[in-house]
């Protein structure tokens, strides 16, 4: 029988700042830590009534930096792989056809 590690207690400090990102700017490994720089694409107009030009690319603003020990980086990679595998399975599911208002529902045969 394999010995299971006892579950860790997680203390959720609600004062911790949450970081949003829609872009991974860069990743590095310096031999001791994996560092990930996260960013957000933003159009920041000079004047409040300006709109972005057609086809203009937003500037990417650094929104957070994450540094992980190698073991924590492996845990993150494994967790992300599981999540992506689940998302792939959801995307592969056949979609149920929508009935139009004037179509009768077909009862199983």
Report in angstroms the alpha-carbon separations of 51 from 43, 58, 59, 60: 9, 12, 14, 17
On the 0-12 / 13-18 / 19+ scale of CB atoms within 10 A, 60 is: middle
pTM, two decimals, is: 0.67
Domain residue extents for the chain: 35-41+57-91
Quick: pLDDT tens for 4-19. Answer: 777 889 899 999 999 9
What are the distances in angstroms from CA 109 to CA 23, 102, 104?
Answer: 49, 21, 15
Contacts of 65 (CB under 8 A, 6+ apart): 35, 36, 37, 38
For 40, list phi and psi in degrees, rounded to 5.
Answer: -130, 130
| Eight-state DSSP code of residue 24 | E
What gap in Å lies between CA 61 and CA 25, rounded to an integer? 9
H helical segments located in the chain: 70-92
pLDDT in tens, 21-79: 999 999 999 999 999 999 999 887 777 787 877 888 889 999 999 999 999 999 999 99
DSSP bridge partners of 65 = 37
């Amino acid at each position: 029988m394999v010995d299971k590690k006892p579950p860790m207690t997680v203390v959720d400090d609600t004062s911790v700042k949450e970081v949003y990102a829609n872009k991974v700017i860069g990743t590095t490994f310096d031999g001791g830590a994996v560092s990930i720089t996260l960013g957000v694409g933003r159009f920041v107009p000079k004047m409040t009534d300006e709109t972005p030009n057609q086809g203009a690319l937003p500037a990417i603003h650094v929104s957070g930096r994450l540094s992980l020990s190698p073991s924590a980086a492996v845990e993150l990679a494994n967790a992300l792989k599981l999540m992506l595998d689940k998302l792939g399975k959801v995307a592969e599911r056949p979609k149920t056809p929508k009935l139009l208002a004037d179509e009768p529902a077909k009862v199983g045969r």
